[in-house]
Structure 1
């Protein structure tokens, strides 16, 4: 993944402070994270829950292995050992029928297999960088740190202060500005699993399976939160499934003086409705707890009201859902209300200072000529990369390295950077061959400029 953004001051492991750069009084991201008592206590809670889950798995494995061992010894001592089954002599006659039957079963089961969530689980130890490596996202990082404080210290925030922790954050902004990267850095910093999925992956060719995939994703998110002490889900391009349902919107037909109402929005009202329901169902209890609750309710039907057995409150699942989009204006209004997406963070293009910090960050990790270490060269590049996103700046340096390799060098210099910049903005050089008549016409034209 790409490292994006820029902190208020240089962080540990990053480049040293530049000469002439004003020293800022704000604390760096590293200082904020290291000094947060809530983060430390929250990580301790996450580790304790994770360790408890690990011990439970070990105990289950021991019970299964011991039971299997006892069963095998019993079969052995009773002179009835397990043997490989031998096919009958007439099996070949029934083989075509069996294969046809299995093929029919497979075709019938295909819609059920399609209902599984296609998400990817990324463990915190698999993520290379955290919030201390973010560049160019000062305000967003500050807001994210506050969100992580509440996410990890949810027990104190809910039980002692009576607050409701944030359950959803919407990242919006142009492509390549660091939305996905910051979400992964949050999971790394919190030390909890990260579930990544692209919103178009929810869509299925089978009717009803799109909603099943959405339910499966949130079910997996709740399960990981119970076992690991917390979980962060990330939905990329959420506008693919969360577009405005537009049930009351009217649009005129071209060339006609009448309008039509769209009863189903462009994203499909079923997907939006399922997403809205799941974002209100973070604390849905697991199957066994629901079964227990149903049994208690059945028993309560036979006893007097004053002796009814309490079912108990559902367990709080520590879940944080993050979604990213480039088209937030197309999202359904019900998604954007507090209680679903409690906070909206906008990711804009980096400022000149942000681009300078990005240049420092990327050049520290790429082979370059000493001339690129000069402050004037880096300031010039920061000025000339106006409207560049962090991804574009890193790609520019990658292309500069390719230009240097074509010339037989293993380090890029300033000329390589600007040649790559010219190629990216204008295009590849095209050879032009002039005829004699064209040369004479151009020379006459230029001579006219020189003589006037």
Structure 2
């Protein structure tokens, strides 16, 4: 029975008792005969009345006849002659004072305001203390962890895909929670804590829920930021309370999401030893591996910033095991897509393996968003199934941005964009070890006026020097194409993002990746402050001015070499550049098949959507880009911006080399 029902029954019992008490103290009514006033006068004149009681306020007359019968009547008006007549008839006349309320009624009426104030005060105090729920202002020392019962979590390992190694690492936690004696009889000890580490969206929280769902044990869930409040010592109190609750429900799992909010390295920043986060962390360290044992409690934490955590938190005995939940490979992406596609009616032409190949660098959350966007595209079109066409549109929207169909571009700007994207595509096709070009578009998407998309043949976990230099060449292909066709004085700001990315790759090749023959395989750290990493506010410099100048010279030489190579490629294939520009101006978007025809200098086949539309209508479809009243290079606020016209940044070099 719930607390509300118990309270209701209690108050009903109290009400019944009070009503009984009031009824017992209320004066009883004797049997009286109601007599009219005329009869009363006749009987009085005849001498039949023995005595009367007259109430002057209510003008009620109560009396007894000589026969012993009681009666009552009311005087319709004040009769002065009545008293003298009654005296003549020898009637005993008694005056009756006004009736007073009972003792309990008097007490209740006099104390009611005070009782009301006390009741209101108790109500607000219960509200401040959380009313038993532990969420009020007076319960700020109580844990905010949400408890989920054994049957509330439906997630299992079947719902987690793309991280087989991580599932294998945590599967023995499930075996221990189900059968602890299996490990204890051999002297084995289950890890006290497991730290899930990985980029955002890779399924760390989902994996923790799956552990609880498989083990069928209580699951406490809390965020690292829920421990810290404005009051000093609250975080440590909540940590103690959380472990006290967990001990009562053991064996159980405590899941702390974003533990870096309280687990940051101590001694960092300005707070010192009195910092609230440090006190919370100290209490957590004691609870996880102190004098008091917490048998049967497994702490699972998740973070995407393990570099800022305190070493004492990561030592064996606390978080004994670190499980890396990384970005899925092509096989993992295919499995994740199949999990999310279970709830979506699919068309016959949907191939998860092809979608997985075209989504390098996507996390599990990105793939879930891809399936959802595809379903929304199909719903807008009134379809009953989701086909491959919707998945392609969803992938383009996520990787390149939504089409800005209301943005109109002049013919001159469309020509500039067409040459720019054609330059990227041609150089990307002709340099060695470059990802194949699979789509070029001059339809504005997001902040980009045009996009050149590459489809990797396989996932890359490291990048060769030749591949990186090919990327630099293709990045400069757009700017070089504008200069060759329109003239150096008409080159636009569209290459700003290309220049930024090419310079970043070249500098990392020289300073971090050891791919420069002149500078050698050394790490050249620049000035940087690490206060945001939670370690120190001081800045350091680890190179001389001469070394910095040598690095700048080597970076420039690397960029100049690849710039010259891209320029030579476009000069030798200027006819293909013009043909691809014309094709983009006509179709606005071309795919790998049209690019193959252009590179082979043959007739270009029609895009697939044009062929489909020509079956229904002889008029060629119009594109989404035309004129804009906004000047190029300005955003809605009027501030000058540098528009990005570049390839997708998914799978940038350096992501797999850290």
TM-score of Structure 1 vs Structure 2, range by shorter chain:
0.5 to 0.7
Correspondence list, 1:167-178, <5 A: 167-178=192-203
Match of 2:369 among 392, 395, 404: 395
Q: How does 1:1-12 map to 2 (within 5 A)?
A: none
1:188 is aligned to 213
Offset from partner CA, 1:205-262 (integer Å, 9 cap, x none) = 223222111111111111101xxxx111100001111110026xxx9xxxxxxxxx87
Q: Does 1:130 align with 2:156?
A: yes
Query: The residue matched to 2:231 in structure 1 has which SS?
Result: coil
Structure with the greater relative contact order (CA < 8 A, sep ≥ 6): 1 or 2? 1
Aligned-pair distance for 1:95? 6.1
- TM-score, with normalisation over the residues of structure 1? 0.63
The answer to whether 1:353 aligns with 2:331 is: yes
User: How far off is 1:151 after superposition?
Assistant: 3.7
Pick aligned residue for 1:201 from 226, 229, 236: 226
Distance 2:369 2:254 in 1: 28
Q: Compared with structure 1, are the counterparts of its residues 144 and 97 closer, same or farther at alpha carbon in structure 2 (3 Å cutoff)?
A: closer
Would you say 1:280 and 2:300 are equivalent positions? no
List per-residue Cα deviations over 1:161-190 (Å, max 9, x = no partner).
333322211111111111111111111111
- In the alignment, is the contact (CA less than 8 A) between 2:194 and 2:301 conserved in 1? yes
* 1:433 alignment partner, SS class: coil
Deviation sequence 1:326-362 (CA, Å, 0-9, x none): 1111111111111111111011100111112222232
Contact 1:240 1:267 in 2 (8 A): no
Aligned: 1:363 with 2:363: no
Q: CA, structure 1 residues 396+408, in 2 after alignment: closer, same or farther (shift >3 Å)?
A: same
1:411 aligns with 2:437: no
More helix by percentage: 1
RMSD: 3.9
Change over 3 Å in CA distance of 1:207–1:370 after alignment to 2: same
Match of 2:114 among 72, 94, 101: 94
Is 1:121 the equivalent of 2:143?
A: no
2:454 is the counterpart of 1:428: no
Gaps of 5+ in 1: 1-57, 59-64, 252-260, 285-315
Deviation at 1:365, TM superposition (A): 2.8
1:239 to 260, 274, 293: 260
In the TM superposition, what is the alpha-carbon distance from 1:417 to its structure 2 partner? 1.0
| CA spacing shift, 1:239–1:266, aligned 2, 3 Å | farther
Structure 2 spans left out of the alignment, 5+ residues: 25-103, 130-135, 420-484, 487-573, 583-600, 602-658
Distance 1:174 1:440 in 2: 40
8 Å Cα contact 1:243-1:267 kept in structure 2: no
Instruction: Give the CA deviation at 1:133.
Output: 3.3
Moved more, 381-390 or 351-360: 351-360
The residue that corresponds to 2:358 in the other structure is 384
Partners of 2:377 and 2:256 in 1: how far apart?
37
Query: Is structure 2 residue 400 aligned with structure 1 residue 271?
Result: no
Q: Distance in 2 between matches of 1:359 and 1:192?
A: 29
Instruction: Give the equivalent residue in structure 2 for 1:449.
Output: 578
Return the offset for 1:101.
5.6
Question: How many aligned residue pairs are there?
Answer: 328
